[in-house]
Amino acid sequence: MTPAEVVIDTFGGIRATARIVDTAPSTVCRWLQPKKRGGTGGLVPQGYFAILMQTAKDQKRTLTLEHLVHGKPGIQTSAKRWVSGQKAMHAASVATALDPLAWVAHELERI
């Protein structure tokens, strides 16, 4: 679990996290994107650490500096499932859902 996923799960989602750090949800979504696609690669920008730590303390939620820097190993989150859903929606918009090449290109499996 990346630091961004830990933060988003801790506060209950992308919109809730965006409200805490006083930014657009799209900014928080960028934390989940790989660096090669303009994201932060799962990292939370350090400028948000203080407000996130203080809010977690005020709301009696568990969030440590270790979480913000290293995340939690080996746990899949709702944030990761959200990104997978976005890939599926993008694949459908790029080509018809019947085009197997679109599914392969986006590393998706049919259910």
Which residues fall within 8 angstroms of residue 42, CB to CB, at 6 or more apart?
Answer: 2, 3, 4, 5, 31, 32, 71
Query: How far is 97 from 71, CA to CA, in rounded Å?
Result: 35
pLDDT band at 72 (very low <50, low <70, confident <90, very high): confident
Q: Dump pLDDT digits (tens) for 73-97.
A: 765 555 555 555 555 555 455 444 4
C-alpha distances out from residue 81 to 49, 86, 90, Å:
24, 9, 14
pLDDT in tens, 9-39: 999 999 999 999 999 999 999 999 999 999 9
Is 70:4 a contact under the CB 8 Å cutoff?
A: no
**Cβ-Cβ contacts under 8 Å for 90 (sequence gap 6 or more):** 106
